[in-house]
Structure 1
Amino acid sequence: MSREEFSVLPIHLKIRTLFIEGTFVVGIRYYQHKVNLYLLDNEYVEVFYNHKLDKIDQIEYLQRDHSRMKFYLDQIKIVN
């Protein structure tokens, strides 16, 4: 599945795709969210879980130049 195809999926299908095809890498706390990082087809995808509301707020690809990347760098190997 391409990045574009994944990006337009409804959230429940993104979750299913990550569960079946993705690999969990690490989880971090980021403000009011627990963010789980997955590897999907050599791309990193973040799942933002709001524990106060008990719901996933968003699922998006992590841009390699995003400032949040520093929280993951000791846990991941960047793939080109």
Structure 2
Amino acid sequence: MSKDLSDFFKLPLSEQIQYLYRNGTFQLSIRYYGYKVNLYLLEDQLVEVFYNHKLDKIETIQPLDYQHSRMKFYTDQISLGTLRKQA
């Protein structure tokens, strides 16, 4: 896959799911309206997986939008106390 993941996002959703679960690394999840949004690291990029629990299906996978209001939900889960300055 290419570094910018353009080939990944051209795949059908079912193939994106398989590739992500084989090659991605789960980071954390948030609740966002009717979705559980799982954040994955895939080839040095963050992607969001939107899971609709009422329909029991993944509806979409998309690159993380750093400008979106969802970022607050992610940052609320990050503990800054775990980060230490290297001397």
TM-score normalised according to structure 1 size: 0.85
Aligned to 2:38, the other structure's residue is in SS state strand
CA distance in 2, matches of 1:75, 1:8: 31
Residue 46 of structure 2: aligned partner: 44
Residue 58 of structure 1: aligned partner: 60
1:1-80 paired onto structure 2 within 5 Å = 1-2=1-2, 3-73=5-75, 74-75=77-78
Task: Report the structure, 1 or 2, having the larger helix content.
Answer: 2
CA distance in 1, matches of 2:11, 2:78: 28
CA distance in 2, matches of 1:27, 1:41: 19
Shift of 1:60: 0.6
Identity of aligned residues (%): 55
Root-mean-square deviation (CA, aligned residues, Å) is: 1.5
Larger Rg: 2
Unmatched 5+ stretches in structure 1: none
Unmatched 5+ stretches in structure 2: 80-87
